Structure 1
Amino acid sequence: MDMRTKVDKVRETALKILYDINEKGAYSNISLNKYLNGQEFESIDRAFITDIVYGTLKWQYTIDYLIEKFSSVKIKKISPWIFNILRMGIYQLIYTDKIPFFAACNESVKLAAKYGHAASSKYVNAVLRNIARNKENLPYPDRNNDTAHYLSVKYSHPVWMVKDWLDCFGEEFTEGLLKANNEVAPFTVRVNDLKISKKELVDILTKDGFEVENGKYLDEALIIRNPSAVQKMDAFAKGYFQVQDESSMLVAKVLDPKPGETILDVCSAPGGKSTHIAQIMKNRGTVISRDIHEHKIKLIEQAKERLGLEIIKTEVFDAAVLDGKLIEKIDRVLVDAPCTGFGIIRRKPDIKWSKNSEDKAEIVSLQHKILSTASKYVKDGGVLVYSTCTLEPEENEKAVERFIEENKDFYLEDITEFLPDALRKESAGKGYIQLYPNIDGIDGFFIARMRKRSK
């Protein structure tokens, strides 16, 4: 029987997803959904595909460094299919302890025969065996010679990012951050207390075979230790919970919306914060949820329907463009700004490779435009909250300082009362908080609260 007909479908699917991401620039979560939702995989296979995709992306810099060291062929001469097969194979060999060497090697060789030719499979076999032999003594760069290069290879982050963080945070903090970015983020959900109590949801999930525990900081947060396909969970379909990290939940807490108010969320897709705001408002008042993309608005609509939140009104609108109809009409405005996303690398490892240092300047300029525009909608005495899921001071404290400098009718307001005791950092008294995965155990986030002076 021809070897080509016997490739493992699960690994082949992971390969196609990686090819999509690395060669066509697809987003990891979108490509995964496309391939997993279109086919009937068992939950164990879905988990395996997800692990190979995210694991290979997470360790890609280190893996490529090892390919360079152990390959007789220069990287730019390797075909993209074979390159991604090698990456997957090395991930399985080095970073997983449940996959036997022969399975990782043989399946990679079969894929190479199907997506290349006989010489490709021999080449893949030789590189993987060579790396396996040296597994306990991999040739990392010398730390004392070049700390940034060593850390970037050891923890698989681009050198420019590591250098930036070393300058900003110092060596010990940076190494802790790089380590945390490679850990698996907990699967956290927000209980929809308009439909169900936390205890009832825990009982239902436990009965369905899920391991559930309380979140780290917030009452409405639960961590599911063994999540499978969320969309297929009965409790999800019934709107009993929303998938959301605790740092993201803190944004609505700091906004502190009240029932009956009018709230504007200017960059709201996919709807986690808008739905949380509506929930805190007990489904009374109005939440205007906007996004620039029509297809993303559909995600908010789906979440709103599922969670039973009638007060959310969705609109396609560019947050950087001023809407004359809403000037000084809104009680509270949320700007959850587009950002580099470096606080959520452990959830979306491809962020490391899809962004570069030049992107930051462009993003900072867009954030400034959106924040300045959105501030015009705030009523006298109203509240403006600015948040990002990144760690970069230029996008966070400096962005807010610049805004306050240019808009004297706004001032930063103490947010200590809105935070759980364990997160009441010194900066909270000044009106903002920066969260880090390595320090706080939740996604890296920045949240600032400003008040508009009453005339």
Structure 2
Amino acid sequence: MNTCRALAFDVLREFSRAENPELKDILDDALRESELSSGDRRLAAELVYGTVRWRRRLDRIIKECVSHRFSVKPAARELLRMGIHQLMIMDRVPPHAAIYETVELAKRHRAAPGFVNAVLRRIQRDGDPVRYPSPRKNPIAHLALYYSLPNWIVGRWVERNGPEAAAEMCNAANAPPGMTLRVNTMRTERDAVATRLEQAGATAVTTTYSPDALRVGRMPPLTEADVFREGLCVVQDESSQLVTHLLDPQPGETVLDLCAAPGGKTTHIAERMRDTGVIVACDIAAGGLARVRENAERLGLSCIDTRLHNGRHQLTEYRGIADRVLVDAPCSALGILRRHADARWGKEESAIAGLANEQLRLLDAAAGHVKPDGVLVYGVCTDTPEETVGTLTAFLDKHPSFRVEPASDFIPALSGDAQTSDGALSVTPHRHNMDGFYAARLRRHQ
């Protein structure tokens, strides 16, 4: 029995049964208790995330293979999803291994092994049995089913970008993201960390836009890496790093981060300030603030003051005196679908209007903290018009003393397609090989 598949199956079953489940937390807990090799840990994670990510298409394939009179029990369905994912989506699992290991798990769990074997053998023999909607006549239905995404997400992408670009966006949403590190420039330099990673057997290449980032491959578990234990780096996607460069904090300043957890941007700000001045890191989640403090301690940063505080309300003692304020607001998170395999299934289009209203309330409160000639940066990891240009426009209409400054003035490597016509940062997975993010830098004029 290949135990990485057994672990993956156990995680998938727990995920399907839990109330308000967090897939990453369930998988992390299982891996922490396992004795799998690093290679088997990566395969287990790929099986879990891929099976959840491709669930809609996998279920349609199962439906085409099974008589409508036959009810597939939950355990057998989960095993079929995992087996079909290996046969049809993954490219590194031999078909005989995918079928054998899945059937063995079905035997172990008394989950109709003969039936599971028959379905998988049919798919191995005949290929994909689904007749997908016509990409020309119904591109939304075709892309949504083929790429296993909700129709409403694909519909928005097709409407705004056309079917070809939407297909690229769908493909990028399903591509497992690589790991990007941010080097702690308070303690070392990027080239030094790259050298140490390569000496440990990993690959490390510099990124296009962020001067602090390394994209790594063949990485051992990060918590086992010396560069991590020594506080020389932290995991942070390149797009998230760019937000701090857009904020451009300076040593000795007073900076407010109003939605700070888990602290990636907060600690980056502290590094850019050379750990001088004051950073007030606010969040409504006590557990998230604990992670901010843990990250700051590991990175050797002491200028961060964490506050359990809702950013919709002003901090009286910082009214009108902050040099810079960051609002990395809660959003629909469509820019990070590739990073959270389960996220696509927990979203509703109807929630977007409420999110945009919440973002505007956060910005309204944040504006009161910014001193004259100070800077406010608004960011969201999504691409919906309501939450990007819509929220920004509504804020500027209410606060005419704030004006947008071009992102390229603060991120010199920024290419033309990474900046909107009004100067905001706008990056996407399919164009820039990083998480999707929108951010606008605003200066308060007298």
TM-score interval, smaller chain? over 0.9
Question: Superposition pairs for residues 28-427 of structure 1, below 5 Å?
Answer: 28-73=23-68, 77-117=71-111, 120-135=112-127, 138-425=130-417, 427=419
Pick which of 20-29 and 31-40 moved more. Answer: 20-29
**Which deviates more from structure 2 when the two are superposed, residues 57-66 or residues 141-150?**
141-150
Equivalent residues of 1:189, 1:243 under 8 A apart: yes
Aligned pair count reads: 445
The correspondence for 1:10, drawn from 4, 9, 13, is 4
Q: Give structure 1 regions of 4+ aligned residues with deviation exceeding 6 angstroms.
A: none
Contact 2:276 2:303 survives alignment (8 Å): yes
Partners of 1:415 and 1:429 within 8 A in 2: no
- Work out the CA distance in 2 between the residues paired with 1:444 and 1:450: 20
Aligned-partner Cα distance in 2 for 1:316–1:13 = 37
- Amino acid in the other structure paired with 2:140: A
Q: Secondary structure at the match of 1:277?
A: helix
CA distance in 2, matches of 1:47, 1:244: 19
Q: Decide whether the 8 Å contact of 1:297 with 1:316 is kept in 2.
A: yes
Q: Which amino acid aligns with 1:90?
A: I
Distance 1:195 1:221, change over 3 A: same
After superposition, the C-alpha distances for 1:126-163 in whole angstroms (9 at most, x for unaligned) are 22112222226753233234211111122221112111
Alpha carbons of 1:429 and 1:73: their partners in 2 closer, same or farther (altered >3 Å)?
closer
Q: Post-superposition shift, 1:259?
A: 0.3
Instruction: Report the Cα distance in structure 1 between the residues aligned to 2:231 and 2:60, rounded to whole angstroms.
Output: 45
RMSD: 1.9
Show CA shifts across 1:78-102 (max 9, x none): 3332221111111011112222222
- Structure 1, residues 47-106: CA drift from partner, whole Å, max 9, x if none? 01111111112222211111111122579x433322211111110111122222222122
CA distance in 2: counterparts of 1:434 and 1:284, whole angstroms: 30
8 Å CA contact retained: 2:427, 2:436: yes
**Bigger mean CA offset, 392-401 vs 102-111:** 102-111
Contact 2:182/2:235 (<8 A) preserved = yes
Distance 1:19 1:392 in 2: 33
CA contact (8 A) 1:23 1:80 kept: no
Specify every segment of 5 or more residues in structure 1 that has no aligned partner in the other structure, as ranges: 1-6
Which position in structure 2 is the counterpart of 1:451? 443
Letter in 2 for 1:163: G
CA 1:144–1:286: 2 relative to 1, 3 Å: same
1:400 and 1:115 map into 2 onto residues whose CA distance is 53
Q: Is the 8 A contact 1:431 1:450 kept in 2?
A: no
CA contact (8 A) 1:278 1:312 kept: yes
Q: Kindly indicate whether the alpha-carbon contact (under 8 Å) linking 1:274 and 1:289 is maintained by their aligned counterparts in 2.
A: yes
Secondary structure at the aligned position of 1:254 is classed as helix
- Report how far residue 279 of structure 1 moved: 0.6
Q: Which SS does the other structure have where 2:340 is aligned?
A: coil
Residue identity (%):
33
Aligned to 1:3: none
Distance 2:356 2:287 in 1: 25
Query: Hey, what's the Cα distance between the residues in 1 that align with 2:408 and 2:2?
Result: 53
Query: Once the 2 structures are TM-superposed, how far is the Cα of residue 232 of structure 1 from its aligned partner?
Result: 1.4
Q: For structure 2, which runs of at least 5 residues remain unmatched after alignment?
A: none
Contact 2:64 2:129 in 1 (8 A): no
C-alpha contact (below 8 Å) 2:201/2:219 kept by paired residues: no
Relative to 1, partners in 2 of residues 1:97 and 1:431: Cα closer, same or farther, differing over 3 Å?
A: closer
CA distance in 2, matches of 1:142, 1:365: 37
